[in-house]
Structure 1
Amino acid sequence: MGLTSRSLLYTVVFVAVLCVGLTVWLWPRLSGRGALPVLGRLGSILVTQLSIMSVVLLAVNSANSFYGTWGQLLGRYDRSPGQVTAVTDTNTGTTVDAAKGGLIRPASSQSTDRMGLPEGPKDKVGAVESVRLVGRRSNVVEPAFVYLPPQYFQKQYERQRFPVIVAISGYPGGIDNLSKYLQIPKTASELLAAKKMQPTVIVMLRPTIAPPRDTECVDVPGGPQSETYFTKDVPEALRSAYRVGHEASAWGAMGYSSGGTCALELAMRQPSVYPAAAALSADYKIKNDLTTGNLFGGGDEAKQREREHDLIWRLKNLPVPKVSVLVTSSKKGEKNFKETEKFLKAVKEPMFASKIILDEGSHNFTTWRREISPSLEWMSKQLVFPQDVNN
């Protein structure tokens, strides 16, 4: 039985209930004095507690896919990079300027140490800036890391605008997860050095704009305007302070877990802003839960809004957007594998899809680090560079 299979969980639940029943039944027989009755009582308590804890741990792991297989639980991970497979044919030197509108402000609270970049000057190794991004329409100020490639600081590129990847963490993780655990700046730097990726600005954000609530990149009726933040405020703020592309062809979104869901939702709902998206272990629809609260309001309009955030429903019932997407999953260990297959089967022109399907993986950073390098390579091929000249 697989580590995340329901049959294993049900079996362990049965064993736990059996252990509790046996303990209750045997307890009077173990009530005597002496070493054997005492050892019997201790043994029955220990076995019962272990069985109950096993149920709890298996249920938590099954819900979150921290370990997808027995081998991963024992520390045996395959760390080789994933391979991108096309599903559909696709062949048919200035830093933050706080004065320009004040939409990007330097932040001292977020450390940019240990980002994985090599030592050296900015025009040789690039840089990561810690900033606060001001959303005029969504009325929020959010933390962000901005990775600037070495070319951004080189004289021959001083009049060029760079493509942009908006990288979104999972919930409840913050932007530190993108730099420390997913290692985006380090990986991008290595790919640039190996000429496997074009010079790209990468902004790292969290998916919620109203923590601790999980806003899921949704414009909540009467509440946080998360989709507006990502589709209007983020591009406006970055263009006000950095030399980044003004055309949509230079922009893409990517993320892991709920951040991957967010990236797909943004691309398919707002293709004129993000015509490319890479989603690592994403879901394909957004639903209300304890962390989100009511995202869609009330009445019949709420049901329609929820349907429109179901990406498979959109592919079957609404005009298909002209976007390119990359999705990832694992045959063993990822609970989204079957939904990923359904999503890929529903994709049709003018939309194009590619995939990374691992034989074995889990809902954790060990798996996502195998996917981030090929995902960045794939994304780089979707974005146009150089962009228009900065006058």
Structure 2
Amino acid sequence: MGLTGKAVLILAIVLAVVLFTLTIWCWPRLARRSAPAVLGRVGLLLATQVAVFATVGLLANNSFLFYGSWADLLGRQQDLGVVTDHAAGTLAAKNIVRVGTQRPDVPGGARPAVGGRIDKVVIAGRHSGIESSAYVYLPPEYFQEAYARRKFPAVVVLTGYPGTSENLIKGLRYPRTALDRVRAGRAQPMILVMLRPTLAPPRDTECVDIKGGPKTETFFAQDLPQAVSAEYRVGRSARNWGIIGNSTGGYCALKIGLHHPDRYTASAGLSAYYKAAEDPTTGDLFHGDEAARHRADLLWTLDNLPQPDASFLVTTSRHGESNYRDTRRFLAKVKQPARVSSIVLDSGGHNFNTWRREIPAALEWMSSRLSES
């Protein structure tokens, strides 16, 4: 049974309930002052607490995906990575290679024409020189005869820092939510390109082109849309592309959309911040270049550079989010031709539970801003 499987969680819950009930039932018999009675009380209390602790830990891990397997949890060495040599020039020619597929965790997921398909790919950036893995969710319509000649809108979906791409599938449930919105008639079918913004791990590059370092902004603004459009039935115009993310991914989504409206017509930041972080995880991003530092400040950009012909969505909570004040400032600074929308919760922290409450509406908003080709 896998660490993140439902069977393990159900077993832990049942065990905790049984041990709690057993403790209550046996307590009168163990109330004596004999050594066996004392040992019995200690054993039952300890076992019950361990079961409850395991249940809470499994619930937290299933929600946030801290560990993906028992070996990961226990720190055991797993199989080492194996280099796969592809035909010479494959990535240089195609810029994207599919290395695996998996079925979405949705009803009918075994059949692509019913549940869609998730491709694991490697994207090689021709302009940035960056190579990154990603997951591409293809909706059921992509495999249906009625849509055989249609090009779909695409949405780049980013995690926070450090984040894992798998969190977007298992933790934040983007493919399942997108499918539900389409089935409910609230959104159009869209291709989702899911990855983390950390393209030079463990460094947090804040989606900046670093002098002498990784060109993360170039990868997201140029390389990724070009590679995906060449491999899949996706339009190449800005009106066909959106970008969304949470936390650091939210900052990156807004930043890329703000500076590259010719590539992305819609950008959504869930619990985003509005100025590039500069700390030990980022290193020196700007090397004394104040113009680059200002450009990475979204509020400064809105005040000092021409506003783009693009749409933006920002989210926050009145209680529980530290970005509430800056989000209000962002909303006030957006002017025509730019357009801005918001999701403001009464309460909600910087966590998966909050983002899962925002993602359905955010995908509906994104769908309404994008068009097919």
Which TM-score tier does this pair reach, normalised by the shorter chain?
0.7 to 0.9
1:234 partnered with 2:224? yes
Question: Structure 1 CA distance, aligned partners of 2:222 and 2:107?
Answer: 30
State the 1:140 CA deviation: 2.2
CA gap 1:371/1:194 in 2 versus in 1, 3 angstroms: same
Query: 1:203 corresponds to which residue?
Result: 193
Contact 2:112 2:140 in 1 (8 A): yes
Query: 2:160 corresponds to which residue?
Result: 170
Give the structure-2-normalised TM-score.
0.74
Question: Structure 1 CA distance, aligned partners of 2:190 and 2:347?
Answer: 31
Query: 1:218 corresponds to which residue?
Result: 208
Query: Which residue identity lines up with residue 223 of structure 1 in the other structure?
Result: G
* Worse overlay, 279-288 or 325-334: 279-288
Query: Which residue identity lines up with residue 342 of structure 2 in the other structure?
Result: K
CA gap 1:113/1:201 in 2 versus in 1, 3 angstroms: closer
Query: 1:331 corresponds to which residue?
Result: 318
State the 1:116 CA deviation: 4.0
Secondary structure, aligned partner of 2:163: coil
State the 1:142 CA deviation: 0.8
Contact 1:252 1:274 in 2 (8 A): yes
Contact 1:101 1:240 in 2 (8 A): no
Of 245, 251, 257, 1:255 maps to 245
Pairwise mapping of residues 266-277 of structure 1 onto structure 2 (< 5 A)? 266-277=256-267
Contact 1:117 1:186 in 2 (8 A): no
Secondary structure, aligned partner of 2:362: helix
Query: 1:76 corresponds to which residue?
Result: none
* 5+ long unaligned stretches in structure 1: 1-65, 67-97
Q: What CA RMSD, in Å, does the superposition of the two structures yield over aligned residues?
A: 1.7
Of 358, 362, 366, 2:353 maps to 366
Contact 2:206 2:277 in 1 (8 A): no
1:154 partnered with 2:144? yes
Question: Structure 1 CA distance, aligned partners of 2:230 and 2:92?
Answer: 6
Question: Structure 1 CA distance, aligned partners of 2:144 and 2:109?
Answer: 17
* Worse overlay, 219-228 or 288-297: 288-297
Of 319, 334, 340, 1:347 maps to 334
Question: Structure 2 CA distance, aligned partners of 1:253 and 1:213?
Answer: 22
Runs (4+) of structure 1 exceeding 6 A deviation are none
Contact 2:121 2:133 in 1 (8 A): yes
Secondary structure, aligned partner of 1:107: strand
Contact 1:117 1:185 in 2 (8 A): no
Question: Structure 2 CA distance, aligned partners of 1:346 and 1:129?
Answer: 39
State the 1:102 CA deviation: 2.8
Contact 1:117 1:189 in 2 (8 A): no
* Worse overlay, 262-271 or 126-135: 126-135
Query: 1:312 corresponds to which residue?
Result: 299
Query: Which residue identity lines up with residue 379 of structure 1 in the other structure?
Result: M
Query: Which residue identity lines up with residue 242 of structure 1 in the other structure?
Result: Y
1:107 partnered with 2:104? no
Deviations 1:290-344 (A, max 9, x none): 111111123xxx1111111111111111111111001000000000000001111
Query: Which residue identity lines up with residue 202 of structure 2 in the other structure?
Result: P
Deviations 1:173-224 (A, max 9, x none): 0111111111001101111111111011110011021000001111001100
Question: Structure 2 CA distance, aligned partners of 1:115 and 1:207?
Answer: 24
Deviations 1:348-369 (A, max 9, x none): 1111110000000000000000
Question: Structure 1 CA distance, aligned partners of 2:267 and 2:318?
Answer: 22
Contact 1:165 1:200 in 2 (8 A): yes
State the 1:113 CA deviation: 5.7
Contact 1:116 1:183 in 2 (8 A): no
Query: 2:283 corresponds to which residue?
Result: 293
Contact 1:324 1:352 in 2 (8 A): yes
Query: Which residue identity lines up with residue 261 of structure 2 in the other structure?
Result: P
State the 1:119 CA deviation: 3.2
Secondary structure, aligned partner of 2:93: coil
State the 1:271 CA deviation: 0.8
Give the structure-1-normalised TM-score.
0.70
Query: Which residue identity lines up with residue 283 of structure 1 in the other structure?
Result: Y
Secondary structure, aligned partner of 1:279: strand
Question: Structure 2 CA distance, aligned partners of 1:322 and 1:129?
Answer: 32
- The count of residues paired between Structure 1 and Structure 2 equals 285
Contact 1:129 1:145 in 2 (8 A): yes
Question: Structure 2 CA distance, aligned partners of 1:119 and 1:231?
Answer: 32
Secondary structure, aligned partner of 2:161: coil
Query: 2:175 corresponds to which residue?
Result: 185
Question: Structure 1 CA distance, aligned partners of 2:155 and 2:283?
Answer: 29
Query: 1:132 corresponds to which residue?
Result: 122
Query: Which residue identity lines up with residue 156 of structure 1 in the other structure?
Result: A
Contact 1:171 1:207 in 2 (8 A): yes
Taking only the aligned residue pairs, the percentage that are identical comes to 46
